[in-house]
Amino acid sequence: MNNELTKQIFSLIKLNNKLIAVESPLQERIWLLTNLANECQQNNINCYLWTLEDDALHQLETNEFGLTLQTVDQYQAIAKIRRENYFEILRFWQTADLQGILILEGIFPWLGESTTDPDFFLTAEWIKSALINLKLYNCNAQKTAILLGPNASLSFDIAPEIPTLIQQLPTIEEISTHLPQVLPDYSADEIHATAIASVGMYLADIDYGIRQALAPEIKPLELVQKLSAYKIELFKRIYNIQFLQPPSTPIGGLELMQQAFKTYKRLLTTLAKAYNLRLPKGILLIGPPGTGKSYSAKACSAQLGLPLIILEWGNFRSYGNLAEYKLKNLLALIDRINRIILYLDDFDKGFAGDDDLSRRLAGMLLTWMQERTSEVLIIASANNIEWLPPELTRSGRFDEIFKVDLPNYGERHEIFKIHLARFDARFRHGGDGYTEPEWKRLLKATQRCVGAEIGAIVERAAVFTFCQMFSEDVLSVGELPPLEITLSALLTARQNMNPLAIREADRVESMRNKAALQGQASSPIDSSIYSLGNIDIFG
């Protein structure tokens, strides 16, 4: 466990690096410390640990029971009169006759970018100076200091002096090697299935998830399902994202976009790779709110059979100084999972402030999009394309830009049938409950309604119909009577709704016009029997 990271650390030590920064998540700490202590014992090197929490020095050793810590009496903590007194360990390690590896935990917050707090700034400068002195005074000694923490952010002035190693998420091969220790009775196929469900988690998280799921008589398939559910919940807590398996999502209209999705599926094949063909670097969906951009991302997930990560891009602004750290970890997660769709919802809202944080986040994303080798399809949605930096919309960033417009008559007909089928059995399996004249009346009445509003109209009509059928609670019902939504119920629901495209006509038309200048059509010209040709948009 963590063997690769341990090898990288000792490779840098052999190159006579006296300072090494290591970024490792807290849950993996015990494994990393155990591996370092093991490697040190095999090479007859002393290994010490200091933490900010107790300001005590311990020597690390391992035995058949695991990791042990022995207090080093030679180091005596001093009174904390000034902030730098908390880091007296740096001066001690510089002058003490001890040799080996010193692991320092809790020091990174003082090594990041500068702050306006003068007291904090002076402490940070003292620590940086003390670290540089470690390199100078111990250049010929067998001493190495490892700075350890979950976020190894270093300011530009000291970063060149300290090489940084980042513990990567384990590969599926590494997980498969680890799992037999936890699940000794599982077959090779069962281990492989469990490893696939575990991709994206650290080994400590996998162990915890398995312990939570294991129960007497639990079958391997049940364990995989519970582990997948645990992973989804973990991703939500750590990364604030939704992780969805490919859904079964019907979509009304947008045929041109759906054809493009089918093309992307072919680009994932081995044959396409043989011709050096690849997925687009990014797909941008632009248009007014409620027109089906988020729904289209789910439809793409269903079409390609790839999991979907939904990320509210604007949320990263709320993380402040941690935003870049959060984004870096999320992109590493996506790279490790591979063959996945990343959907950046409301992408434009992340740039509404036009501040330095927005530009840095955009720069990180662009660099990753340009350099990544993983098979990740990036889909972003935007209502106001003018908020996006110009460099994001040029060719080579988002290769495909689709205008997702207000649905035409034929598309509204399909959307209505999808939503009606949720409540009214007449519309399932290709069935229909209305005549052509009734459809024409309904579609004319819902002109300029978007898909989300059509869904709300149907749901309101279904509630009204239910209340009409059952005026009071029925405690015992044999065979339930069918719920048949009438045209009048839908028209009444429509009358009680004022669509956004009518309420905010100027804004919506501005969005549509700008989208038309930038994007290609996602729908063909309406050729359905309900098409009325050119109509007054404010009818």
49-77 tens-digit pLDDT: 999 888 899 999 998 888 999 999 999 87
Rounded to whole angstroms, the Cα distance separating 434 from 445 reads: 15
The yes/no answer on whether domain 409-470+482-521 falls in CATH 1.10.8 is yes
User: Which residue positions in the chain have pLDDT lower than 50?
Assistant: 1-2, 534-539
Q: Alpha carbon 412 to chain centroid distance?
A: 32
What confidence score (pLDDT) does residue 41 get? Answer: 93
What confidence score (pLDDT) does residue 474 get? Answer: 63
What confidence score (pLDDT) does residue 1 get? Answer: 47
What confidence score (pLDDT) does residue 4 get? Answer: 86
Partners of residue 166 on adjacent β-strands: 23
What confidence score (pLDDT) does residue 398 get? Answer: 85
Locate the domains of the chain by residue range: 3-166, 173-238, 255-403, 409-470+482-521
Residue pointed to by tokens 């059952």: 470
What confidence score (pLDDT) does residue 188 get? Answer: 94
Rounded to whole angstroms, the Cα distance separating 320 from 323 reads: 6
What confidence score (pLDDT) does residue 191 get? Answer: 95
What confidence score (pLDDT) does residue 536 get? Answer: 46
| Sign, CA torsion 77/78/82/85 | negative
Contact 118, 75 (CB under 8 A): no
Helices 220-239 and 188-198: angle between axes, nearest 10 degrees = 20
What confidence score (pLDDT) does residue 539 get? Answer: 43
Q: How many residues does the chain have?
A: 539
What confidence score (pLDDT) does residue 70 get? Answer: 93
Q: Do domains 3-166 and 255-403 have the same CATH topology?
A: yes
Contact 501, 510 (CB under 8 A): no
Taking the domain 255-403, which CATH number applies?
3.40.50.300
Contact 254, 450 (CB under 8 A): no
Q: Output the furthest CA–CA distance in the chain (Å, rounded).
A: 94
Q: Alpha carbon 91 to chain centroid distance?
A: 42
Question: What amino acid occupies position 256?
Answer: L
Q: Which fold has domain 3-166?
A: Rossmann fold (3.40.50)
What confidence score (pLDDT) does residue 357 get? Answer: 81
pTM of the model: 0.84
